[in-house]
Amino acid sequence: MYSKIQLKLFFMLLLVISFLSVAVLWISRSQQQQVFLSFQDQKKQMEEIISGILQLKEKSLYALTFDYTYWDEMVAFVLNPTDPQGIQWAQENIQGSLTTFGVQHAWVMSLGHKEVYQTHDDKSLAMPFPVSVAELEKLFQNTHFEHFFVWVDKDLLEVRGATIHPSSDIERKTPAQGYFFAARLWNKDMMDELASLLRSELSIGFPAAFSAERLKVAGAEGIDKMYFFRELKGPGNQPVAILRIEKPFLLGDYMEKFSAGYRKVFLSGAFIFIVIFFLFGFFWISRPLIKISQALSTEDSTTLQQMSQSHSEFGSLSQLIIRFFKQKEKLLKEIIERRRTQRKLREAQTQLLQSEKMVAVGQLSSGIAHEIKNPLANILLAVDCLRQEIPSANISANRQIDIIRKSAIRTNNIITELLNFAREKRISIERKSLNETVEEAIRLADQYFRTKKITLERYYYREKKIVISIDPLLVEQALINLFSNAVDAIDDKGTISIRTSVRENTQNNKLFAILEIADTGKGMTPEIQKKIFNPFFTTKEIGFGTGLGLSNAYMIFRRHEADIEVKSEPGQGTTFTITFPCRTEQA
């Protein structure tokens, strides 16, 4: 025995079958299929013709840019654009090739994205390079050739660009020396030529202008005309223009006459069917399904309470959905609580592991340092005594003694740093302003900033005074270590940005001060980031670092119940984020 829903679906299916049976009597499927296949065949052929012609037109741009971007003369010209011989070469070759390749404009750009040369044909006016510096920087990140379109006022330019390399590097494996661009104007002559080749009507416009047009012609296509749209993409690979092609359909008149006889009957039957289907489906099925859909989308079962009292299938379904929401809510709470517990456990395990590692390294460092410090003192004393016994005229011996003394002093300094790392200094807590503490650390680290061309950018939170409980000397020492690390990461010149802010934890209503120290240095790989807080780990050359700076900073911040995180990518700089418990006061 069919259930109620199955019976309703059966009646709906019976109506659909009856309607389709009547429609099939008025349609000659064989003739319609022939017309349809003919239309599809013509459209497919036209698609291939359009693609072939556009590719053929674009090949001249490609040939010009490919040919002129692996010449040694072009490399010499882009590197020294003021050289008279280079200028003469460019005028004789580049400008002379525009007419040959059917191109109106050409530009030569340096690696610094500056225009070093531009030319045009006799019928065109001079035009600056039509792409912004920001867009130009992204063009050749993954390729040596680019093809795009760009609007200049009301004119559309087709642009082809390529990177410049020596003639010995036709495969373009060496670094680019500059960029060469050639452009063709899609003017009336160009459009007339394409229209003649395609035997169609052509028009170009903005994508927004053709969006409604494409929907409109989709319904009319196949009656007497075929429509084709080609997206012309810009530097960002987004459509900047639409090429609209309108082609007459040869069998359109026949199709119109064929369909005129049954169209009225078909529309009348469709109207009657829609009315019956709407009344039948709305009251029996649609209204209950709409309520269920709304309840599922909003995750609110209150709208199903009344329906759940019904004894129909929808009533049973509503009861299942209500029970599902209750179980889901309970399950989500359990999942959230479990994830929170797991996250806290992982953080505690990580901190415990790091603390144990620091203690072990500290104990080892302390033992080794005490054992080495006394022999070093004897070496320094012996060197001083030896210097007094050797005559000053013996330059070679005195030079060797200086080398021994400097090495012993450096070793002694490293031992002192190991002892400082191993010795856990007692914290003297004070309430200090975060901004003032950072400024004091900047003042103390001034000698590091002066070693290179460093630009300091400060972005302090000033709505209220951020107060943190710290030992100022220890925190300043840790910040100086971070500043020193940022300076070392910058090759010659760069920027170090310092930002403070406040964040509130809505779960426990606690305030946290956020200190971010970002540099524009060479960055780090993920493998290095995992090791930077390990004692004695350093990426510096031998003799230029002990690997204790960041480890010491990590220990200091953890002793102040502060978290430190690092984000970095090779070539993208590094950002250290320190989070302190804090409170705020009126500034």
Indicate whether 485 and 549 sit together in one domain.
yes
Write the CATH number for 162: 3.30.450.20
User: What's the mean pLDDT in 467-477?
Assistant: 89
Residue after which a domain boundary falls, among 260, 294, 328 = 294
User: What's the mean pLDDT in 234-252?
Assistant: 82
Cα dihedral sign for 118, 119, 125, 129? negative
pLDDT category of residue 337 using cuts at 50, 70 and 90? confident
Going across the sheet that includes 563-568, the strands are 453-459, 493-505, 510-519, 574-581, 563-568
Reported as a single tens digit per residue, the pLDDT across 148-202 is 999 998 889 999 999 999 998 888 889 999 999 999 999 888 889 888 888 888 9
User: What's the mean pLDDT in 216-224?
Assistant: 56
The residue that leads in pLDDT, 225 or 562, is: 562
Q: What is the CA radius of gyration of the chain?
A: 39
pLDDT category of residue 237 using cuts at 50, 70 and 90? confident
pLDDT greater than 60 at residue 219: no
In a domain, residue 337? The reply is no
In a domain, residue 143? The reply is yes
Cα 150 to Cα 240: distance, rounded to the nearest angstrom: 7
pLDDT category of residue 357 using cuts at 50, 70 and 90? low
Reported as a single tens digit per residue, the pLDDT across 565-579 is 999 999 899 999 999
pLDDT greater than 80 at residue 328: no
- Helical H segments across 128-251, by residue range: 133-139, 188-198, 207-220
Q: Amino acid identity, residue 547? A: G
pLDDT greater than 70 at residue 212: no
| Per-residue model confidence (pLDDT) at position 25 | 64
Burial 231-246 (b: 16+ CB within 10 A, else e): ebebbeeebbbbbbbe
In a domain, residue 485? The reply is yes
pLDDT category of residue 352 using cuts at 50, 70 and 90? low
Report percent pLDDT > 70 for the chain.
71
- Collect all residues with Cβ–Cβ distance below 8 Å to 390 and sequence separation of at least 6: 397, 398, 401
Indicate whether 90 and 9 sit together in one domain.
no
Residue after which a domain boundary falls, among 294, 316, 348 = 294
Q: Supply 364's token pair.
A: 């080892």
| Per-residue model confidence (pLDDT) at position 177 | 93
Indicate whether 24 and 92 sit together in one domain.
no
Q: Pick the range with the lowest mean pLDDT from 30-39, 326-335, 573-582.
A: 30-39
| Per-residue model confidence (pLDDT) at position 178 | 93
Indicate whether 462 and 573 sit together in one domain.
yes
Cα dihedral sign for 326, 328, 331, 337? negative
In a domain, residue 520? The reply is yes
Domains of the chain: total? 3
Reported as a single tens digit per residue, the pLDDT across 498-547 is 999 999 887 778 899 999 999 999 999 888 888 887 776 676 655 455 56
Residue after which a domain boundary falls, among 229, 262, 294 = 294
| Per-residue model confidence (pLDDT) at position 519 | 94
Place of tokens 């000698």: 447
| Per-residue model confidence (pLDDT) at position 1 | 33
The parent domain of residue 12 ranges over 4-29+252-294
In a domain, residue 148? The reply is yes
Indicate whether 25 and 80 sit together in one domain.
no
pLDDT category of residue 2 using cuts at 50, 70 and 90? very low
Cα 155 to Cα 30: distance, rounded to the nearest angstrom: 48
| Per-residue model confidence (pLDDT) at position 57 | 85
User: What's the mean pLDDT in 58-82?
Assistant: 90
pLDDT greater than 50 at residue 314: yes
Indicate whether 82 and 137 sit together in one domain.
yes
Indicate whether 21 and 74 sit together in one domain.
no
Report percent pLDDT > 90 for the chain.
22
| Per-residue model confidence (pLDDT) at position 269 | 66
The residue that leads in pLDDT, 202 or 395, is: 202
Cα 203 to Cα 187: distance, rounded to the nearest angstrom: 11
pLDDT category of residue 136 using cuts at 50, 70 and 90? confident
Write the CATH number for 562: 3.30.565.10
Mean pLDDT of all residues in the chain?
Answer: 80
Strand partners, 179: 109, 163
Indicate whether 13 and 158 sit together in one domain.
no
In a domain, residue 35? The reply is no
| Per-residue model confidence (pLDDT) at position 579 | 94
Provide the terminal-to-terminal Cα distance of the chain, rounded to the nearest Å. Answer: 79
Q: Pick the range with the lowest mean pLDDT from 178-187, 329-338, 367-376.
A: 367-376
In a domain, residue 193? The reply is no
| Per-residue model confidence (pLDDT) at position 418 | 59
User: What's the mean pLDDT in 359-370?
Assistant: 60
Reported as a single tens digit per residue, the pLDDT across 408-465 is 776 776 666 555 555 555 678 899 999 999 999 999 888 888 888 899 999 999 999 9
Indicate whether 171 and 279 sit together in one domain.
no
| Per-residue model confidence (pLDDT) at position 573 | 92
In a domain, residue 308? The reply is no
- Collect all residues with Cβ–Cβ distance below 8 Å to 313 and sequence separation of at least 6: 3, 4, 5
| Per-residue model confidence (pLDDT) at position 544 | 53
User: What's the mean pLDDT in 319-338?
Assistant: 79
Helix (H) or strand (E) holding 305: none
Indicate whether 176 and 78 sit together in one domain.
yes
pLDDT greater than 70 at residue 277: no
Whether the CB-CB separation of 576 and 517 falls below 8 Å is answered with yes
Indicate whether 104 and 163 sit together in one domain.
yes
Indicate whether 21 and 114 sit together in one domain.
no
| Per-residue model confidence (pLDDT) at position 258 | 58
